[in-house]
């Protein structure tokens, strides 16, 4: 049986019209070597019954799925890169392969590719993805999902057997980036970059209607066109910047085309997880001024979505929220931050013993000390009734200094979300699961030097084991 009975194809994007995409052909690769298959998420889209040959046929050769898109589509869009407007963006090394419904919650999901060949929007690029880039993205999506971040999911990764060329010379096998890979991910798409033609109202209105119909939120009688993405931004904010901040995650390249108005996080290039709390920490070496530094991510998300609102203002006046233009974003960030802080620390709202504060402190309110972001959130699960085991005592000792006194007092005002969970083996570890850059590099070195995948195959499940900690994190996609 090629697909499961729960498989629900929903190829709606072609109805937008040819102004929004180019029909493309996938590259033909000399090798199809499976490196990653997420069977759990395959089941979420009704594809868990595919055998190895069928999986290869659909996710390496990109043969059409039943009753789905008959050919891949490279999407057209425009937007800002490092706040400079670029009208010639679009899918340059990937395409929309299929659309289907999430078995669990009926979301419309795209199956999109990365490294699947050149398109009309490659702009002299080779349309390929390095093997290291593919490995890093699998690790990022697994870790972020475990930490409760609303993220895309890496479904499949095939090594292609190609040498990567840059300029006139091939990159040597021993160097990073020599080997290539083709990746496929699920994504609740609806890029915030809007349509490629910002001055063509007809196409813009059609795109807006499409997004509202298929991705929500439902239109209200009082909505103006520019008000809909503003409201979606308020709904989706807990799935993007606030959750990155609580996860200690730095996306790296928050250009407008790397954002979804659904609030889903996706497209992980030069990301980093913070080794210690530092608002100025920058992930990308090509961001020397720190435009997309850790502490600037909430403001960047707001700036990006303001550009979308400006484009949509061609269809009608932009709403002016009460209390000033920045009142609503500030309230959204504050509310989302409180909710996520409670979730990450394992301390839900409870009747406080000595204070009225409704949430434990977030990193932004912690002292400007070199505190370990992963340990601080894990230690927070101690709250008032934490077990006093030796491992926990070691972690708590890290925050025994006087400058953390206010943080400790606020945590002690809250009961743990699930006291029984605090006795789990995960919480007795000396340290929580992490995915710091030196750990990624060690994993990659084994692959590059010896073609040793043991760390990767053990790390992908290990990232999911972080869910033992995030099992207390009940963060889901934004509700309508």
* pLDDT tens, residue order, the chain (480 aa): 589 999 999 999 999 999 899 999 999 999 999 999 999 999 999 999 999 999 999 999 999 999 999 999 999 988 899 999 988 889 999 999 999 999 999 999 999 999 999 999 998 889 999 999 999 999 999 999 988 899 999 999 999 999 776 544 444 433 444 689 999 999 987 665 544 454 578 888 888 889 888 887 555 555 555 555 444 444 454 357 888 998 999 999 999 989 887 888 999 999 999 998 899 999 999 999 999 999 999 999 989 888 888 888 888 776 555 444 444 455 445 555 555 555 565 655 544 444 444 444 444 444 444 455 555 555 444 444 444 444 444 556 666 777 777 777 776 777 777 777 777 777 777 778 899 999 999 999 999 999 999 999 876 544 444 544 444 333 334 444
Among 422, 371, 79, 378, residue whose Cα is nearest residue 253: 79
Six-digit token string for 273: 């997880």
Residue 1 lies in a domain: no
Q: Would you please indicate which residues are annotated as catalytic (active-site) residues?
A: 257
Domain count, the chain: 3
Cα Rg of the chain (Å, integer): 23
Among 444, 415, 376, 434, residue whose Cα is nearest residue 146: 434
What is the rounded distance in angstroms from the CA atom of residue 309 to the CA atom of residue 192?
Answer: 9
**Which pLDDT value is given to residue 127?**
92
Cα dihedral angle (37, 41, 45, 51), rounded to 10 degrees? Answer: 30
- Which of 315, 338, 361 is where one domain is finished? 338
What is the rounded distance in angstroms from the CA atom of residue 167 to the CA atom of residue 178?
Answer: 13
- 188 and 216 belong to one structural domain: no
Is the Cβ–Cβ distance between 380 and 435 less than 8 Å?
no
- 175 and 220 belong to one structural domain: no
Residue 467 lies in a domain: no
Is the Cβ–Cβ distance between 76 and 92 less than 8 Å?
no
Q: Measure Cα distances from 334 to 216, 229, 358, 383, 404 in Å.
A: 23, 19, 12, 22, 22
pTM for this prediction? 0.82
- 242 and 379 belong to one structural domain: no
Residue 43 lies in a domain: yes
**Which pLDDT value is given to residue 284?**
94
Residue 355 belongs to domain spanning: 348-432
**Which pLDDT value is given to residue 101?**
96
- Which of 281, 310, 338 is where one domain is finished? 338
- 375 and 315 belong to one structural domain: no
At residue 187, φ and ψ (nearest 5 deg) are -155, 135
Instruction: Look at strands 108-114 and 179-187 and give their pairing.
Output: antiparallel
Among 436, 437, 441, 455, residue whose Cα is nearest residue 35: 455
Residue 372 lies in a domain: yes
């Amino acid at each position: 049986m090629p697909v499961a009975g729960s498989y629900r194809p929903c190829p709606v994007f072609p109805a937008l019209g040819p102004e929004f995409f180019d029909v493309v052909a996938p590259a033909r690769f000399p090798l199809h070597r499976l490196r990653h298959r997420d069977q759990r998420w395959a089941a979420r889209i009704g594809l868990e019954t595919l055998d190895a040959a069928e999986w290869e046929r659909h996710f390496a050769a990109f043969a059409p799925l039943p009753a789905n898109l008959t050919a891949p589509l490279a999407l057209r869009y425009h937007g800002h890169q490092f706040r400079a407007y670029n009208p010639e963006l679009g899918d340059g090394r990937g395409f929309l392969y299929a659309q289907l419904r999430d078995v669990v919650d009926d979301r419309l999901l795209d199956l999109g590719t990365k490294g699947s060949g050149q398109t009309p929007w490659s702009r002299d690029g080779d349309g390929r993805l390095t093997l290291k880039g593919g490995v890093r993205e699998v690790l990022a999506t697994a870790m972020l999902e475990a930490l409760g971040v609303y993220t895309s999911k890496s479904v499949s990764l095939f090594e292609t057997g190609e040498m990567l060329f840059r300029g006139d010379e091939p990159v040597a096998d021993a160097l990073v980036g020599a080997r290539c890979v083709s990746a496929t991910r699920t994504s609740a798409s609806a890029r915030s970059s809007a349509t490629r033609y910002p001055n063509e109202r007809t196409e813009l209105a059609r795109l807006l209607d499409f997004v509202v119909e298929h991705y929500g939120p439902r239109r209200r009688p009082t909505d103006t066109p520019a008000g809909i993405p503003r409201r979606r931004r308020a709904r989706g904010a807990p799935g993007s910047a606030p959750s990155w901040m609580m996860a200690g995650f730095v996306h790296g390249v928050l250009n407008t085309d790397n954002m979804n108005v659904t609030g889903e996080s996706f497209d992980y290039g030069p990301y980093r997880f913070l080794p210690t709390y530092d608002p100025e920490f920058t992930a990308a070496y090509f961001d020397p001024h720190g435009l997309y530094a850790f502490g600037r991510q909430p403001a960047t998300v707001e700036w990006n979505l303001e550009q979308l609102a400006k484009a949509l203002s061609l269809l009608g006046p932009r709403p002016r929220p009460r209390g000033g233009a920045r009142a609503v974003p500030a309230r959204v960030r504050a509310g989302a931050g409180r909710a996520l802080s409670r979730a990450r620390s394992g301390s839900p709202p409870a009747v406080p013993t000595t204070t009225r504060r409704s949430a434990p402190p977030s990193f932004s309110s912690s002292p400007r000390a070199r505190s370990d972001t992963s340990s601080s959130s894990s230690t927070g699960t101690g709250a008032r009734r934490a077990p006093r085991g030796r491992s926990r005592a070691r972690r708590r000792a890290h925050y025994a200094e006087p400058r953390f006194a206010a943080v400790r007092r606020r945590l002690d005002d809250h009961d743990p979300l699930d006291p029984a969970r605090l006795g789990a083996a995960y919480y007795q570890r000396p340290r929580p699961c992490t995915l710091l850059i030196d750990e990624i590099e060690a994993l990659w070195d084994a692959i590059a030097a010896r073609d040793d995948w043991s760390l990767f195959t053990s790390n992908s499940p290990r990232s999911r084991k972080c869910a033992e900690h995030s099992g207390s994190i009940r963060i889901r996609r934004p509700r309508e």
